[in-house]
Structure 1
């Protein structure tokens, strides 16, 4: 997961740091006037902004029109019920009070982000693969895959979009944000390594390359139908 966070006051900076500490990728925007531009350019799963920014440089209606399917969370200080209702009607998916304990706020953000992908619980099943979004772990049967952070992030992106084409540019933007992206050959090595981790269940789940376009995660068997995983390696 990657969140776009408007770090426009100290409480938002604190929340942003807690997001990063939890392992979730983040794109930081320190200037509220640039938030709409960041929102339009990046590949993120959730937008988190401070209520005070609304009506200044951005509006919920504009943000929602810009990316209709991307969830938005508003962080507010002691908002009255009628204002919360207005924000929700205008396009916000959740309103979080800035006094909420960080674990509670993080859980709310996670729930909104994953449910936008149709995922109700933080553990996702794709054929023989179980992906734990909270622990950032991938499991094949009783084997926990030894994935580097980048490999996990690539796998998570694909698992959240099964059967859908993931454009190479979108995948790179999600994993690296606005940081320097690696040379194409380096990313090809990442994909090769990730496929090697999944090789033992290639009959049930595989990453397909769509030449000139991107990648697609294909799941051909349900977990209950998949063959035993005794051949899986525990090595990195």
Structure 2
């Protein structure tokens, strides 16, 4: 999952980026609302974390502008302010949730996970598809009840496909959602990860759960579609 973090406090931004990367997110950062607006409209994100007290364009106006432009990814507002009206203003601008500084990193992770799941119609942290189970909270993957160990990026690809079961996802889209904006989009690394996922999750080729559509991308088939 790829996150946009718009925070002008350099220390907090660095801490949050490190924590989010530790939690298996890819993170792009912006120091002010102007840069945040550019990134939010130019790149694909699964969610954004936006501080209200930003320079150039404040967080509330940034969120309003993104929503007016049809940008629908979930947004969590960060605020150091105590007044309830600031929280209401952030939500009224189009944010989906808020956290008041200081907060515990685990709370941010839990809220972020919940918002991303709900944005694709998945309420539970545990996603099941036939013999496959993925727990987005613990990042645990099981096949037929047995644990399967995936690398960080293998997990990211599988998680994204599980959250979008039955949908065709191009290599470019997959790359944009698991890497930050500096990654070379021409790389064939997605093909490598798909090959590894097939080998680790379906070594006997019993389920044929990831379908390749030539010239289009990949689709994680819903179990009831699998013969």
TM-score (normalised: structure 1) = 0.83
Secondary structure of residue in 2 paired with 1:16: helix
| 1:110 to 2:98 alignment | no
Q: Deviations over 1:167-189 (max 9, x none)?
A: 22111111222133376444322
1:73·1:109 contact (CA, 8 Å) conserved in 2? yes
Q: Aligned partners of 1:19, 1:131: CA distance in 2, in Å?
A: 19
Q: Deviations over 1:138-157 (max 9, x none)?
A: 11023222222121111111
Match of 2:201 in 1: 198
Match of 2:7 in 1: 7
Q: Aligned partners of 1:113, 1:79: CA distance in 2, in Å?
A: 26
CA displacement at 1:123 relative to structure 2: 1.5
| 1:72 to 2:75 alignment | yes
Aligned residues: 224
Q: Aligned partners of 1:88, 1:145: CA distance in 2, in Å?
A: 39
Match of 2:159 in 1: 156
Moved more, 54-63 or 74-83: 54-63
Q: Deviations over 1:211-231 (max 9, x none)?
A: 212111101339xxx9xxxxx
Which of the residues 188, 196, 221 maps onto 2:191? 188
CA displacement at 1:164 relative to structure 2: 1.1
Spell out the pairing of 1:93-104 with structure 2 (5 A cutoff): 93-104=96-107
Match of 1:37 in 2: 38
Spell out the pairing of 1:123-202 with structure 2 (5 A cutoff): 123-181=126-184, 184-199=187-202
CA RMSD of aligned residues (A): 2.6
2:24·2:156 contact (CA, 8 Å) conserved in 1? no
TM-score (normalised: structure 2) = 0.86
Q: Deviations over 1:21-78 (max 9, x none)?
A: 2232222223432111211232321110110128726522211233443111110012
For structure 1, the residue ranges without an aligned partner over 5 or more in a row are 227-236
Match of 1:233 in 2: none
Q: Aligned partners of 1:68, 1:30: CA distance in 2, in Å?
A: 20
Q: Aligned partners of 1:150, 1:56: CA distance in 2, in Å?
A: 34
Q: Aligned partners of 2:84, 2:208: CA distance in 1, in Å?
A: 47
| 1:59 to 2:56 alignment | no
Moved more, 25-34 or 137-146: 25-34
